[in-house]
Amino acid sequence: MASQEWNYLELGNIRSTLIRQEDTILFQLIERAQFKRNLAIYQDDAEFLKGTGISGSYVRNLLQETENIHAKARRYTSPDEKPFTSRSQLPDPVLPPLVVPEEMKYLKSIDVNLNSKIYELYISTILPWVTKEGDDGQYGSSSVCDIQALQALSKRIHYGTFVAESKFRSQPEEYTKLIKAGDRQGIMDLLTNKEVEEKVIKRVQNKATAYGQEITDETSYPQGKPRGDQLLQVNPETMGKIYREIIIPLTKEVEVDYLLQRA
Amino acid sequence: MASQEWNYLELGNIRSTLIRQEDTILFQLIERAQFKRNLAIYQDDAEFLKGTGISGSYVRNLLQETENIHAKARRYTSPDEKPFTSRSQLPDPVLPPLVVPEEMKYLKSIDVNLNSKIYELYISTILPWVTKEGDDGQYGSSSVCDIQALQALSKRIHYGTFVAESKFRSQPEEYTKLIKAGDRQGIMDLLTNKEVEEKVIKRVQNKATAYGQEITDETSYPQGKPRGDQLLQVNPETMGKIYREIIIPLTKEVEVDYLLQRA
């Protein structure tokens, strides 16, 4: 998703991409939090789907239709974009492939995809944290927000492959030894940096605080007044939990899975 | 896009919806500004489309495909959602219609749609303001951002019908007289509130300032350091211009068009 002259594996570039993605995730969750939980849209063959010809869940269907379009726009040829729909069910890109920079060779060749887990945790855990219980009938709007939130989460988590490749290059011998030994825990320990994790969590909490304040015509700075209902849901505590319990662990799982296949 | 108990015409509710939409527009433009202008995606039958079977422009095609999905999700049955694609070319909703609250009767029956103008101004004016010249090959990503930005702009501008209906109800006699006389300028004068317009412009400029600052792990408040390239583009000056020259005039045009048909 960045320009072609960009070096994807330069640590400063990875960092600035991850920081941008935090904003996207926060923003998409704030958008989703306008609507209630609307559980029916996640249920297979829900009552409201009767007579529509849709089988499975409504969100799944809309997600696949969206991914069909994005696949044709070659979204899933980019190494940081993984589809939720099985690749075999998606159409081929209509556009000719982008030139893959040399440093992306490994990234392209290894297809780690944790989207089924991301989907599962989004519905079971993130949604109850960021939405109020109940049904407001806004099924279309909620689903469109869900799809954008899921795509943002997936992109952030799978950016772990870039992080892993970059870490590998900075310590090739250490990683190669662990990879050859199939030492999952050893790889996990080597790539874990608790201090950086805490900084990320603190930063997203600060973003949730800053974006969650009311901005008026009188001042350019936050005033300490929460802006509305959905911002009480997507608050610093929630954002911290989402990163600590879901995004960071899954990113590290992506990193380990990637490295084990890299050897 | 709000819950069913909500009274869409209550002024406080209209105001809070408009304020939310400012965030969405700002955010979608920041997302688009990551990528270069990429003019080819707006050109009919551009070189890169040869052999793809796509006729017309790439963005138009992707927009129509997206709207097909959203039409099935009944997006365009909501009075604040207008398609860019002609309604006759869109599929029917798959979901049963939502119950229309009583106060929305007029809003549903009058279909004002300025999207062709919005599309035109977005490409000719907004894009050059928020993107850097050039081509980075990120056609899919740029188009997905364009579509989300166009939808956000369209929704904000067509919310003018809600604003107009609410204004009509607060001064029915004055408006009815002008509407019966077909007095476009008189209606425009009556609904114009320069003071409110300036407040809106000031508020979006303040949002662009606040969201454009770097947020770190050390502080919950903006530090005065711009965050990155795309935030130098989508800056307070640009946001002010977009509102002053495009969004506010088009919203008022929607209001007048709506009222002239309301009689």
The string of pLDDT tens digits covering residues A40-67 is 999 999 999 988 888 899 999 999 999 9
Instruction: Choose, out of A15, A28, A135, A144, the residue to mutate when testing the contact with B (most B CBs < 10 Å).
Output: A144
Six-digit token pair at A125?
């855990």
Question: Does residue B5 belong to any structural domain of this protein?
Answer: no
Q: What total number of domains does chain B contain?
A: 1
pLDDT tens for A176-199 read: 999 999 999 999 999 999 999 999
Task: Give me the pLDDT at residue A222, please.
Answer: 43
Q: Any chain B CB within 8 A of the CB of A209?
A: yes
Q: What is the C-alpha separation between A102 and A182, in angstroms, rounded?
A: 27
Q: What is the pLDDT averaged over residues B205-219?
A: 74
Mean pLDDT of chain A: 89
Domain of B39?
11-262
Does residue A103 form part of some domain? yes
Across A102-172, the runs of DSSP E, i.e. the strands, are none
Is B182 a member of any domain? yes
Judged by CB atoms closer than 8 Å, whether chains meet at A220 and B206 is answered as yes
Question: What pLDDT score was predicted for residue B189?
Answer: 98
Mean pLDDT of B20-41: 92
**Does A72 qualify as catalytic in the annotation?**
no
pLDDT at B218: 61
Q: Is residue B119 part of a domain?
A: yes
The alpha carbon of residue B176 is apart from the nearest alpha carbon of chain A, in Å, by: 33
**Chain B: nearest CA to A194, how far in angstroms?**
14
Indicate whether A223 pLDDT > 50: no
The arithmetic mean of pLDDT across residues A16-32, rounded, is 90
Interface probe, candidates A148, A215, A233, chain B, greatest B C-beta count within 10 A: A215
- Whether ipTM tops 0.95, in short, is no
Q: Residue A11 has what pLDDT? A: 81
Judge if pTM exceeds 0.95.
Answer: no
Q: Does residue B129 carry a pLDDT above 80?
A: yes
- Is B234 inside any structural domain? yes
Q: Is the pLDDT of residue B74 over 50?
A: yes
pLDDT at B114 over 80: yes
Lowest mean per-residue pLDDT among A130-144, A173-187, B86-100:
B86-100
In three-state secondary structure terms, B213 is: strand
Does B138 fall in a domain? yes
Given this model, what pLDDT does residue A231 score? 60
> Is B161 within a domain?
yes
Kindly state the average pLDDT of the residues B177-190. 97
Alpha-carbon span B136 to A2, nearest angstrom: 8
Say what the pLDDT of residue B78 is.
87
Judge contact between B187 and B155, C-beta under 8 A.
no
Cβ contacts below 8 Å, chain A against chain B, sum to 140
Q: Which residues contact A181 (CB under 8 A, 6 or more apart)?
A: none
Residue among A16, A138, A199 minimizing CB distance to B3: A138
Q: Which of A67, A47, A66, A69 is nearest to A57 (CA)?
A: A47
Nearest by Cα to A227 from A218, A243, A240, A216: A216
Q: What is the CATH number of the domain that holds B180?
A: 1.10.590.10
Q: Give domain status of residue A251, yes or no.
A: yes
Buried b (16+ CB within 10 A) or exposed e, B23-51: bbbbbbbbbbbbbbbbebbbeeebebbee
Nearest to B137 among A35, A69, A98 (CB): A98
Q: How far is B248 from chain A (nearest CA, A)?
A: 16
